[in-house]
Amino acid sequence: MTEPEDEENKNTNTINNLEESSSNNETGNSSHASPDEEAAVKSEEYQSLNNKYLRLAAEFDNYKRLSQRDQRDQIRFGNEQLLKELLPVVDNMERAIKAARTNGGGDSALVQGVELTLKQLSGVLAKFGVQAIDSAGQDFDPSAHQAVSYGPSDDVPANKVLDEFQKGYRLHDRILRAAMVSVSSGPAQANEHDATTN
- pLDDT, tens digit (0-9, with 9 covering 90-100), for 170-180: 998 889 899 99
Any domain includes 64 = no
| Statement to judge: residues 124 and 143 lie in one domain | no
Domain presence at residue 31: no
One domain for residues 92 and 135? no
Strands 174-177 and 145-151: unpaired
Count of domains forming the chain: 2
Domain enclosing residue 194, as ranges: 130-198
Between 109-127 and 80-102, two packed helices, what is the crossing angle to 10 degrees?
150
CA dist 69 and 56 (Å) reads 20
Do 136 and 114 belong together in one domain?
A: no
Q: How far apart are CA 140 and CA 160, in angstroms?
A: 5
Tell me the CATH number at 171. 2.30.22.10
Q: How confident is the model at residue 9 (pLDDT cuts 50, 70, 90)?
A: low
Compute the chain's Rg from CA coordinates.
Answer: 39
| Model pLDDT for residues 177-197, shown as the tens digit of each residue | 999 988 888 787 755 444 444
- Give one DSSP letter per residue of 54-103, joined into a string: HHHHHHHHHHHHHHHHHHHHHHHHTTHHHHHHHHHHHHHHHHHHHHHHHT
Closest CA to 128 of 74, 85, 166, 80: 80
Considering the domain architecture, whether residues 153 and 91 belong to the same structural domain is answered as no
Query: Is there a contact between 168 and 145 (Cβ–Cβ < 8 Å)?
Result: yes
Residue 123 lies in a domain: yes
Whether pLDDT at 14 is above 60: no
- pLDDT greater at residue 153 or residue 132: 132
Residue 121 lies in a domain: yes
Quick one: pLDDT at residue 105?
Answer: 67
Q: What pLDDT is stored for residue 19 in this prediction?
A: 54
Look at residue 169 and give its three-state secondary structure: strand
Query: Residue 25's pLDDT is what?
Result: 46
The answer to whether residue 35 sits within a structural domain is no
| Predicted confidence (pLDDT) at residue 20 exceeds the cutoff of 70 | no
Instruction: Identify whether residues 92 and 138 lie together within a single domain.
Output: no
Check whether residue 168 and residue 185 sit in a common domain: yes
